[in-house]
Each structure stands twice: as C-alpha cells, then as structure tokens.
Amino acid sequence: MAVIPKSMNKSLSKANEMVKKAEDVKIYSHIDCDGISSGAILSSTLDHLEIDHEIEFISLDMIPDLKKENELTIFSDLGSGQNMDHFKTSKSRVLILDHHPPLRKASDESGFLEVNPHYHGIDGSFEVSGGGVCYLLARTFQFYDLSWIGVLSAVGDMQNSLSGKLVGLNQEIVKDSINRGLLESDNDLAIYGRQTRPIFVALSYFGDVNLPITNDRNEAIQLLKNLDIPIRNSKRQRTLYDLTMDEKRRLFNELVRMMSRAVPSRYVKYIPRLVSGNYYEFLEEEKYSSLRDASEFSTAINACSRHKNPEIALKVIKGDRSSSLDEMEELGKQHRSYLAQKMEWIQEEDRIKSLKNLQYFHGNGIKSEVIGTIAGMILSYGDWKKPMLGFTKINEENDDLKVSLRCSRLLAFDGINFGQLISKVASKVGGSGGGHSTACGAYIPWDKEEKFLEMFNESLNKIL
C-alpha cells in the first residue's frame, strides 16, 4: 500500500508489537458509528489472535474518570484530542488509534503510543476514519476480511460527504475490500436509501435545497411518471438499486435542472456534485436489507448508539445476523418513530425561529443524542440558505445546553466551515464545540443561549 507514509507504517508495526504481546486488553471506543466500527475491528482482531479483551463505548467527557486496570488499554476514535496524562503514569501500556487533530506532538514514549494520520501529513477529517486507522492495524496481521468495516466507519463518519466519494487512505481500504470480494463501489445518483426506500420516498427526502418534491411524495411520484420511470415492478416498489442506467440518467438530468433553477447562479456549478456520488455496497449482505448499503448500515448503527445500545450494533458488525439484527431493526423502528413524533411537535406550533443569518428551534425534552438528526430533518422545512440550529438540555441531570447545527452542503462548497465557527463562538460563551463543516455542535452554559445566538448570527454577517 504505497500511500501509507513510512513513518506511519513504523508506528503501526510498533502498535502490532504492543498488541501481540498483550494478554489482557481493555478497549475504550467512541460511542458513534465510527467508534463502534473501530471497536468491532479491534475486537475481531483480538478474537483472531485469541487475546482476552473487554470493550466499552464512551463519550469524550468520561475520559478523565477512567482508570488503568489492564495490561494494555486501547483508545479508538478518541484520545488524541484529550488530556491523557492520567494514563501516562503507571506501568501498563496505552495505545491510541485516532484520526482527530492531536493535542500532543507525535509522542513515542515507552508504553504510550499514538497512531494518528495527522502526524504523517494525512488529513483525518476526510482521508481516513478512526475505524480506518484500526483497520490499518488489523492489516498488519493480514486480517483483510475486516476491510469492509473500515469502509463502513468512513461512511459513518461522513468522510465522503463533500466530494461524494472516499479518497486518500480510505480509497486504499476500499480497494482491499473490493479485492476480497466484499465490496462493490461505483458512481450513482446520491440519493439516500438505495436499498430499502421506495424511490419516490427517497426522492421526497432528497435535499440540500428545497424543491417541489421535498417532503412531498405525490410530487415525487408525479416527477417519476413524467420521466417514464415506473415506481413498481411486478413484485414490489422499486428502489434506486432497481433503476436502469437509462432511467438514472433521466432522473439525474431532471434533478440537476430543478436544482439549478432553485439556487442563486453562483451555486449552479456545484449541483452535479450533490446529485451524484459513489455507493458502497457490501456484497455479503442480503440485497434490499438495511446492511447492504454502507450509508444505510451506518444509520442503523447510529440508531443504536443514539439510544445507548452500542453493544447491539457491535454484535451485528461482528457478524451476528440473528437476535442482534432483530434488536437493531427494532431499535431502528423506535428511532424513526421518536424522530417523527418530535418533528411533528416542532412543526405543530411553528417552533422554528428565524434570525437574519440563521434559523433555530428549542427542542426542550428532545434527547441531546438526536438533536442533530432532527435539526437536519427540520432544515428541509426551513430555508436551505441558512444553517439550522437546535438547542436542548444535555440530560436530566445537566441543565447546560447542547446545540447542533446542520446546513446545506452548498454553504460548505461556498467556503464556510461551521465546525470551526461553532467552536469559536461556543468558547466565547464558556462552552466548547466542533465537528464537520455541514454537521457540527457545541455544549454551552444553560444561560448563554441568547448570547450564543446573537454572536453566531453576528459572525455570519460577513460570510453569508
């Protein structure tokens, strides 16, 4: 794999030594799709090596309270951005496999090893995910069968969201997976729900700008009729997966035409990028199942993590296709009905408020784990030209606020990075934040919401 820098290969082989020697391992991984996939790769690797291990999924705020109790502690998809001094002191070893921007200089103290792409000139925000770094370690043991999970983690981390496809080290992991016959990938229409959603339903959620078909299934059916694309075959409703090349071409042209009419002219050049992108299809999974498409699989994992059941997702990724898969599907159902109920609640009383440069809502009572998902969904009912911010209490015990932001990718193509902006504004009111350019969030003190909104709105005067 030519693209892995030598220096990175060196630290991967040190990590390999560390793992090989260990007899008792604890893994702490981030409780999101990338983190759970990371955990699945590491756990499968240790299973293959017959090394005893435990795994626990945590959020970043739990790190200060963790204690070293095992011979080797591995942190995956977290650790690089946090103070880890309390883990540096005792005799047991620590391995950090992360892709977030590191706090420390490349450290290689005895017993404390950090593998992070940023140390080797690779951008961890889109070239490799936490799970990707874990896979690169698994690969040093020749466990190529885990490559598909590295793809899943990158898609779950939205590393393909701006360019429409995986690049950099991610692309190498894709190749490994294709070579093993585990994956197929090609360009297609970038409409979510490729395997499971009837095409007219998928189209009604198709977004980034508001169109006549947005949230309107009848309009979507009409559009397909006009393009001579049947919505059913003899057995069932057709999904994107069922469409012929020719049908896809007609649909692509029509979507580009509709969107180009709906946006200011400076955005028109970006439109094709929103309408097409690569799919990542897991060939071992059943067709039309929610596991066949990487992006749909990652949604199912998120439903587990957002309702605090990461272990179910872990078991499914590790291969359980019976009871854990049933549980995951049940959680998915509950998740969707929770979202629908909250969406209705926001809309029934016009709870979306608008300022000059942004829109927002209070989701008091909405779980902080799903406030971002809801902000993304509600954006399609608001004005796509402004970001949507949702506020909610962190949890029952903590009155401070979580704020999540979602926006059209067109704003990011235009050069705005909301992840950086939200981090800046949050720290000015005594909070902290970060994330991607189109999906990010922050934690702020409970009494600082107004100040935060005012400053955020103000800071957009020059850019929006």
Q: Which of 5, 11, 3, 47 is nearest to 143 (CA)?
A: 47
Distance in angstroms (rounded) separating the CA atoms of residues 230 and 238: 8
- Look up residue 132 and give its DSSP letter: H
Nearer to Mn ion (CB atom), residue 34 or residue 296: 34
Q: How far is the CB of 77 from Mn ion (least distance, A)?
A: 4
Nearer to Mn ion (CB atom), residue 157 or residue 327: 157
Give the binding range for Mn ion (CB under 5 A) out of 30-38, 107-115, 428-436, 447-455.
30-38
The contacts of residue 73 (CB under 8 Å, 6+ apart) are 25, 26, 27, 28, 87, 92, 93, 94, 95
Q: How far is the CB of 149 from Mn ion (least distance, A)?
A: 13
Nearer to Mn ion (CB atom), residue 132 or residue 363: 132
Distance in angstroms (rounded) separating the CA atoms of residues 340 and 328: 18
Question: DSSP string spanning 246-288?
Answer: HHHHHHHHHHHHHHHHHS-GGGGGGHHHHHEEEEEEETTSPTT
Nearer to Mn ion (CB atom), residue 129 or residue 185: 129
Give the binding range for Mn ion (CB under 5 A) out of 20-28, 120-128, 152-160, 226-234.
152-160
Q: How far is the CB of 138 from Mn ion (least distance, A)?
A: 16
Give the binding range for Mn ion (CB under 5 A) out of 75-83, 184-192, 329-337, 401-409.
75-83
Nearer to Mn ion (CB atom), residue 154 or residue 189: 154
34 binds Mn ion (CB under 5 A): yes
Nearer to Mn ion (CB atom), residue 77 or residue 327: 77
Q: How far is the CB of 177 from Mn ion (least distance, A)?
A: 18
Positions 216 through 255 that interact with Mn ion (CB under 5 A): none
Interior/surface letters 30-51, b for 16+ CB within 10 angstroms, e for the rest: bbbbbbbbbbbbbbbbbeeeeb
Q: How far is the CB of 356 from Mn ion (least distance, A)?
A: 34
| Residue nearest Mn ion by beta-carbon distance | 34
Pick one of 46, 77, 376, 441: the residue that binds Mn ion (CB under 5 A).
77
Interior/surface letters 414-427, b for 16+ CB within 10 angstroms, e for the rest: eebbbbebbbebbe
Nearer to Mn ion (CB atom), residue 174 or residue 189: 174
Distance in angstroms (rounded) separating the CA atoms of residues 246 and 249: 5
Q: Residue 96 is inside which H or E element, if any? A: strand 93-97
Q: Which of 92, 104, 93, 58 is nearest to 77 (CA)?
A: 58
Q: How far is the CB of 21 from Mn ion (least distance, A)?
A: 27
Distance in angstroms (rounded) separating the CA atoms of residues 44 and 455: 47
Structural tokens at position 157: 């981390």
Write down the number of H helices and E strands in the chain: 16, 14
Give the binding range for Mn ion (CB under 5 A) out of 60-68, 116-124, 127-135, 425-433.
127-135
Give the binding range for Mn ion (CB under 5 A) out of 54-62, 74-82, 260-268, 382-390.
74-82
Nearer to Mn ion (CB atom), residue 37 or residue 392: 37
Give, in degrees to the nearest 5, the angle at Cα 311 between 308 and 314.
Answer: 125
132 binds Mn ion (CB under 5 A): no
**Cβ-contact 439, 376 below 8 angstroms:** yes
Q: How far is the CB of 301 from Mn ion (least distance, A)?
A: 12
124 binds Mn ion (CB under 5 A): no
Pick one of 114, 127, 157, 281: the residue that binds Mn ion (CB under 5 A).
157
Pick one of 130, 310, 363, 382: the residue that binds Mn ion (CB under 5 A).
130
Distance in angstroms (rounded) separating the CA atoms of residues 175 and 212: 39
**Cβ-contact 81, 100 below 8 angstroms:** yes
3-state secondary structure of 67: coil
Q: How far is the CB of 148 from Mn ion (least distance, A)?
A: 17
Q: How far is the CB of 50 from Mn ion (least distance, A)?
A: 28
Nearer to Mn ion (CB atom), residue 35 or residue 207: 35
Nearer to Mn ion (CB atom), residue 99 or residue 386: 99
Distance in angstroms (rounded) separating the CA atoms of residues 353 and 375: 13
Q: How far is the CB of 135 from Mn ion (least distance, A)?
A: 13
Give the binding range for Mn ion (CB under 5 A) out of 128-136, 236-244, 297-305, 379-387.
128-136
Give the binding range for Mn ion (CB under 5 A) out of 1-9, 32-40, 116-124, 192-200.
32-40
3-state secondary structure of 371: helix
Nearer to Mn ion (CB atom), residue 81 or residue 430: 81
Give, in degrees to the nearest 5, the angle at Cα 24 between 130 and 22.
Answer: 75
Q: How far is the CB of 246 from Mn ion (least distance, A)?
A: 38
- The count of residues interacting with Mn ion (CB under 5 A) is 4
- Residues forming contacts to Mn ion in the complex (CB under 5 A) are 34, 77, 130, 157
